[in-house]
Structure 1
């Protein structure tokens, strides 16, 4: 039987016929890439709990994976060029015969698993060994197709992020309906990338619950554009984080009515992620309106970069350091209580006149008049940024 041009599912079915046993083809992470549907093979062999749960979940269940790992099966597969057999009585898994699948360079691409409850015959062993290179070519073809599809998706997402005519054309090409909202899935730390398996899970989640969504990993984060408003996008995001574990955050941008404006929504989502990270939060979904004060403060801090030495915060810090004073905390309390001297003094546990003297000293000696609107704006912004870092 010539198997060279068959897809993975057809390969699994053909191998099941030749081996006389149910077959699964798995990747190195134990995800199921294909499995046999051959009724003749399935009738002739017992289909156990391990096979059923693996196929239903498209992944070897954690408890079976742990059993196999403890038995050294995965290590054997990684180093062996022969068929590996495993028998774990009482585990719910009948005897298995496994052959590694490698490309021409010897890189492990996956493995073929056959359920052989009566033991492996020499003929079955030879068939599995002969079939492994054929499966390898099939996996390489599938990977190439997947890579090509992934590149096309990344190109579409990048076009959407540019906004304008490019975004409009990209939106039409994938049937993205308006209005729409951009999301960003990111690690909770700026220096870390979203792991590939979590990025893939997010893309699959959106494909399942929002078929018109377009999503792809771009550099360290995953960008997604979904049809619908901010509230709907937030629900999709929260549902994903509820299903997965990991140090992740999701920023949700504003809803836009045209594809040309998707870049605006994406910039919002980026800014939300930056604000959430600055607070040290994790496992959260936030919208631009939910963290607007932080977003605006961080954007203002970019504009103030290079002018820090002239800020009222720096002036008060220098004065306090040189004179062992408490002018900064006094000014902070005064602003925090909306200019109410009595309330601010109570918070500081000092007499109101003491606070008035400190504020007068801040104005006359340090040059920081907290009753001046511009000074209050700059000082309040600097304190807001200080709080974000805290």
Structure 2
């Protein structure tokens, strides 16, 4: 272990015992704990991050398998950094039935707890689980501290900082073992029991209802109702139809999108107030999160009586407790989610049996569909956060919508009603693209996006062609914006039909790319050397071609004096033997600009 006592952070921490008790689904398995399970866990780190002190951290050794002897090095490195525990990938069958002896020996010798990650989950889910466990126990202990009087004993009626029946407890039982026992005296009343996860979530909804004085629904990001409190006779029609249908009605979701409330909900950590409006009573809502990850929401409606003055605080505490259950549900569904994403990726990329993929996604293979490609105009953390917000927004557009979240873009599959004329089909497909572009533009700190829509495919089995076309439309929008260089507000969404000629040119350019890359000559040498020098000459030639040989217009677009542009064009002839007045050379120059990227 690292030398010297690690500096303590302010605030309460969790133990390894508590972290493991949080894992109701068995995503983690403890192999060895030389120092016991009450060692402190202060954070979660990935093993491939830059070397630094990880005092008290739980380190995820991505890529290291417990069944391979070389994983002992990852265990020892984690121990030297001060980590209290390390997680390896579960041993593969070919490496043997269990952990390698060298790995166990390294953990025992280093005094570090050793865990393995179940094969059915992944590192992203594991990190989310662990961070949620830490947030959960920190919030619990903070609440208990606030509820203690001067003698250090809990003040009656303030458990968890939430008024109501026993409060919303967040702590675990002291007697729980590493795998987490069933609820007992002092256990979280919403943590489970004989009724299982669904019963625990229903108990939580009932507890929040008593604390807020309202009617409660707990929903996931697709607006499916996971739990609800008892419905009073005074409940409004929206609540009754939501509970009976098992999800928020589609028209209601559309109304929430148009009003901007969904955008606020997905980006805020605060309780949001929605005043009474006609027959719709006052409502409070808060997002349920695990760290930065959005899991769902809790809604409180003032059905027949006013909400408690403490309702906002109750919802905040309830969201902390609900995160555990919603994360557990997400982990339970993770296998199904991965199978769905695999089928959707196969359908959109044309891999495997397309008809089988369509059936597994609940789509009739001969049903028409559209594909949207949505990409940020710039990369970076803000772009990733923007896509994280747009993904649930796209799913909420319609229950049948399918969304594939890729690292640098979203792909959205939108079933289109059969029997619509071509113009109506295009409008149907373009509507969500327009909405997603507007949502991104309005996000605080968000990154604008470009959204392209391919031609509506006649069947789901043809979705791959529509996906390829949607991605090309995004490229057309990008190229047009770059060439415009400040000439007015850029178009950020479009359909394939709206950019027809540019789309055809881009397709043809891609078709001849192998010929271009294998060729040589003056234009090729110009493209290679001038781009390395900053692209001044190639950029000037591109502007000259775009202006159809009008030097004055090209110079205006480049913000240059016309004589400066004429000088650059002469340099093309003198240095590279490239004559921009030769028709064949102009074709090659156009290809050079299209295929090597805008300069």
- Tell me whether the two structures share a fold, i.e. TM-score over 0.5: yes
Deviations 1:261-304 (A, max 9, x none): 43232222222223323435563124262631562476379544
Q: CA deviation at 1:204?
A: 1.9
CA distance in 2, matches of 1:346, 1:100: 53
Structure-2 residue corresponding to 1:292: 503
Instruction: Render the CA deviation track for 1:331-355: whole Å, top value 9, x for unaligned.
Output: 97588548xxxx779999xxxxxxx
- CA distance in 2: counterparts of 1:389 and 1:142, whole angstroms: 46
Q: Cα distance 1:225–1:27, how it changes in 2: closer, same or farther (>3 A)? A: closer
Give the SS at the match of 2:374: strand
1:313–1:382 CA contact under 8 A, matched in 2: no
- The CA deviation at 1:12 is 6.4
Match of 1:265 among 466, 475, 498: 466
Within the candidate set 229, 235, 249, 2:427 is matched to 235
Quote the offset at 1:377 in angstroms: 1.3
Q: Are the structure 2 counterparts of residues 346 and 39 from structure 1 closer, same or farther at C-alpha, using a change threshold of 3 Å?
A: closer
In the other structure, the counterpart of 1:219 is 407
Cα distance in 2, alignment partners of residues 159 and 186 from structure 1: 20
Aligned 1:177-326 pairs, distance under 5 A: 177-189=366-378, 192-193=383-384, 194-207=386-399, 211=400, 213-228=401-416, 234-243=426-435, 244-246=438-440, 247-257=448-458, 259-278=460-479, 279-280=481-482, 281=490, 283-287=492-496, 289=500, 291-292=502-503, 295-296=506-507, 299=510, 303=514, 304-305=516-517, 310-311=522-523, 314=526
Contact 1:15 1:23 in 2 (8 A): no
Aligned-pair CA distance for 1:165: 4.5
TM-score by length of 1: 0.57
CA distance in 1, matches of 2:554, 2:209: 81
What is the number of residues matched between the two proteins? 332
Deviation, 1:205, is: 0.9
Alpha-carbon shift at residue 217 of structure 1 (Å): 1.7
Q: 1:384 to 1:181 in 2, by over 3 A?
A: same
| Higher helix proportion (structure 1 or 2) | 1
Q: Distance between the aligned counterparts of 2:460 and 2:286, measured in 1?
A: 49
In the alignment, the residues of structure 2 paired with residue 335 and residue 134 of structure 1 have an alpha-carbon distance, to the nearest angstrom, of: 60
Do structure 1's residue 21 and structure 2's residue 213 form an aligned pair?
yes
For residue 356 of structure 2, what is the aligned residue in structure 1?
169
CA 1:369–1:164: 2 relative to 1, 3 Å: same
Deviation at 1:170, TM superposition (A): 0.8
Shift of 1:109: 8.5
Q: State the 1:305 CA deviation.
A: 5.0
* Paired residues of 2:453 and 2:470 also in contact (CA < 8 A): yes
Does the residue aligned with 1:368 lie in a helix, a strand or coil? coil
**C-alpha distance after superposition, 1:231-285 (max 9, x if no partner):** 5564245322444421122222244445554323222222222332343556312
Q: Does 1:36 align with 2:225?
A: no
Confirm or deny: 8 A CA contact 2:365 2:459 kept in the other structure.
no
Conservation of the 8 A alpha-carbon contact between 1:248 and 1:282:
no
Query: Which residue of the other structure, out of 354, 371, 374, is the alignment partner of 2:584?
Result: 374
Indicate conservation of the 8 Å contact 1:162/1:263, yes or no: yes
Question: In the alignment, which residue of structure 1 is the partner of 2:598?
Answer: 389
* SS across alignment from 2:412: strand
Mapped to 2, the partners of 1:129 and 1:296 lie a distance apart of 52
C-alpha RMSD of the superposition:
6.2
1:202 CA drift (Å): 0.9
Please tell me whether the aligned partners of residues 404 and 412 of structure 2 are also in contact (alpha carbons under 8 angstroms).
yes
- Alpha-carbon distance change, 269 to 138 in structure 1, aligned in 2, over 3 angstroms: same
Unmatched tracts of structure 1, length 5 or more: 48-53, 75-85, 349-357
Cα 1:156/1:361, change in 2 over 3 Å:
closer
1:20 CA drift (Å) = 8.9
Contact 1:8–1:135 under 8 Å retained in 2: no
Superposition pairs of residues 351-366 of structure 1, within 5 angstroms: none
Cα distance change of structure 1 residues 301 and 245 upon mapping to structure 2, 3 Å threshold? farther
- TM-score, normalised to structure 2, is 0.40
CA distance in 2, matches of 1:99, 1:180: 34
- Contact 2:347 2:358 survives alignment (8 Å): yes
> Structure 1 CA distance, aligned partners of 2:220 and 2:542?
60
